[in-house]
Amino acid sequence: MARAQKVAYQCPSQPIQTRAFSRLSASSRRTALQPATPIRHCQNASSSFASHSQLRPFSETSRNAYKTVQEARSRQRSGPFSWKAAVLFVVTGAAMIVYFQEEKARLERKRIADETKGVGKPKVGGPFNLIDQDGKPFSSEDMKGKYALVYFGFTHCPDICPEELDKMAGMIDIVKKNTGNTLLPVFVTADPARDTPAVVKEYLKEFHPDFIGLTGSYDDIKRMCKVYRVYFSTPPEVKSGQDYLVDHSIYFYLMDPDGDFVEVYGRTHTAEEAAKIMTDHIKDWEKPINQGLLSEARTKAVIPEGDPHDPIVS
């Protein structure tokens, strides 16, 4: 019986060829020939394997193909969010923030420009007719086509006007550097009795060569100051040759190429701040801007000979 334990369990299709089988007794042979449970399991496993092989063949490619073990471990540690994705996320977010800030500022500038043209708002600016420092007629039509920066003062001003004109010259240079020849600086005297064209021309040479200096009769100056909402006052009963000061508003008025008022800048604005705002307005302008010199078709006038300080009004 001990030898009978050497019999190997095999599938029925494979005959049992063992010397120990021939030496068994008849009863032992019958027991050995009976199908055992492991044989049925073998048959079931073989048929199940065959059926599954026919229904769904195995894929030869792996789901996650990594070249090295270190690469697989690195992928497991980092997950789908890599450092490249983080950099892209930060850069995209920063770009969107900058874009929305610039768009918000642009809309605010547009709102300010549109509000000055609204119904029920006091209008700043309007038609005028004066003469420039060369004695040529100059009207509100000559300012159109460019942005214009208008300042009211007088040549005998001891301190405020020179400071503001120096600042205005700085604005001109910054805007000109950023946008080209798109800004026309205009100085309007509030003291026409003493500021003749020759006096204004000599005075503005000290500040910037692009300045246009305007003067005219007292009524013409008063009319322009009124349409620009500018306050000015001269002492009453001034004698000829007597020195005096003129009280006036201290503002810079920005006008667009259509001749409409845009914005005003006071003494609290630095040259850099005001130039930045003007540059943004100019870049927002959607129509063409004339970047050439003033029209040469304006009528030339000859300044009368004599003392350049002689008043042009009685």
More confident position, 6 or 267: 267
Which of 160-169 are b and which e, b meaning 16 or more Cβ less than 10 Å from the residue's Cβ? ebeebbebbb
One domain for residues 174 and 273: yes
Range of the domain at 90: 68-115
One domain for residues 208 and 99: no
One domain for residues 50 and 74: no
One domain for residues 79 and 166: no
Nearest to residue 188, comparing CAs of 145, 250, 270, 237?
A: 250
User: Residue ranges of the alpha helices (H) in the chain?
Assistant: 19-22, 26-33, 37-55, 69-78, 83-115, 160-179, 197-204, 218-227, 271-284
More confident position, 240 or 224: 224
What's the pLDDT tens digit per position in 134-151?
999 999 999 999 999 999
Can you tell me which residue has the tokens 């910037």?
208
Give the annotated binding-site residues for Cu cation. Answer: 157, 161, 248
Quote the tokens at residue 7.
């019999």
With 70 as the cut, is the pLDDT of residue 46 above it?
no
**According to the per-residue pLDDT averaged within each range, which of 54-58, 69-73, 122-126, 171-175 is highest?**
171-175
What's the pLDDT tens digit per position in 85-107?
777 767 777 777 765 666 666 55
With 60 as the cut, is the pLDDT of residue 62 above it?
no
One domain for residues 207 and 230: yes
One domain for residues 175 and 217: yes
| Residue 309 included in any domain | no
One domain for residues 101 and 138: no
One domain for residues 138 and 274: yes
One domain for residues 161 and 108: no
Give the annotated binding-site residues. Answer: 157, 161, 248
Helix (H, G, I), strand (E, B) or coil at 38: helix
